[in-house]
Amino acid sequence: MTAWHRHVLDPVHTVAPTASPYDTPARTDLVARVRAFAMDEVLPVANRLDAAHEDIPAEILDRMGELGLFGILIPEDEGGLGLGVLEYCLVSEELARAWLSVGSIIARGNGTGCDSPDPDTRARLRRLSAQGKRIGAIAFSEPDAGSDLANVACAAERDGAPDDPDAGWVVTGTKRWVGHARSADFIHLLARTRPPREDRGPSDGLELFLVEKERGSFPAGVTGTPIDKIGYFGLTTWQLDLDGLRLSADALQDTGEEEGQGFKHSLGWLNVARAQTAARAVGLSRGALEDALVYAQQRVQFGLPIAEQQAIRHLLADMAAEVAAARQLYQYAAWLVDSGAPANVETSQAKLFASEVAERVTSKALQVFGGNGYTTDYAVERYWRDARLTTIFEGTSEIQRRIIADGLLTEAPLS
């Protein structure tokens, strides 16, 4: 571990949010507690383990459970904090500032995989989720189905008479980009139960299944191959091959609708996911900017800190302005989601802008570091690598532009 990695733990939070129209004493206190955890406990671990491509250690996950971070969105009477999407995003920004994967893992809790039709079972699962004792993995994407999830080909067939509701399922296919799969307590799986009906569109016939499993292994019928990524370490990402995976009848998640509508049910989380991704992108941007501010004041060239160079000062100013703008966008989008208002366009705008800001800001920060930025001695290269991913996952920038344009053109008056 380099000297920089030892000293970077105490940056001045000059660009951390200090005032917002969404501030309340409770939110300010929550952010302060999570920021202290992220900087004092997560960042040192990230600086050590990311370079070794190792996963988030159990002690970090346990501490997150103690802090309630896996239960932000879970009601208080079910063991959670009973907070909203805005708080969820504020926490995600702080965690991602230290390590993107830690800012991401909370989405594998917070009630994910707890939609049992039985109220008692649902409450029990949510309590485990809130405590960080039930952390899942999401298996939606496939080699030929990423942005176009309606093209999912993974097939689930009845293990018995097709019209027997008590018959189990046999699942065959391939899933890709499944983060945390082997370490998870369950896998949330999107599979096709029948061909789509012509009058209902290509997403018809897709359902969500819950694959319960033991941590550290795959269930019978599933094999996994780690994907060799260039970043986003801390969460091993897998390609899963499903060959005769057998599931019980109740593995099919109850959507309260006609069978074959699971994909539509899953869309309800997209606005939350986009807002959270925007927050994670802001966290990465902030980490890069804060490190650049410290470095620019320490690095001396031509007898002066490079922070005295106008070119560097302008870079830092532009970076700070973009980070502040991206933060306002995601906070507004999250507030809209919490209020129950339509937010498809706003969450896509936040995700698009914040992720592309992250790519620009981390690149500029690396430029401030000069040749030192292009080494693994400094955390800025991690922010740079991870920021590139935010323009891709949870819907690419191109998909966000399509959603935004569709919303604008639908609402625009005819000439």
- Candidate list 66, 308, 394, 398, residue with the active-site label: 394
Closest listed residue to residue 295, CA positions, set 51, 3, 58: 3
In angstroms, the CA 205 to CA 137 distance is: 22
Query: 132 with 64: CB under 8 angstroms?
Result: yes
Q: CA quadruple 279, 280, 284, 290: dihedral positive or negative?
A: positive
Tokens for 311, please give them.
Answer: 């070119």
Tokens for 282, please give them.
Answer: 């802001």
Query: Which amino acid is present at 188?
Result: H
Phi, psi of 369, deg, nearest 5: -75, -15
Residue 394 is a catalytic residue: yes
Give catalytic residue positions. 394
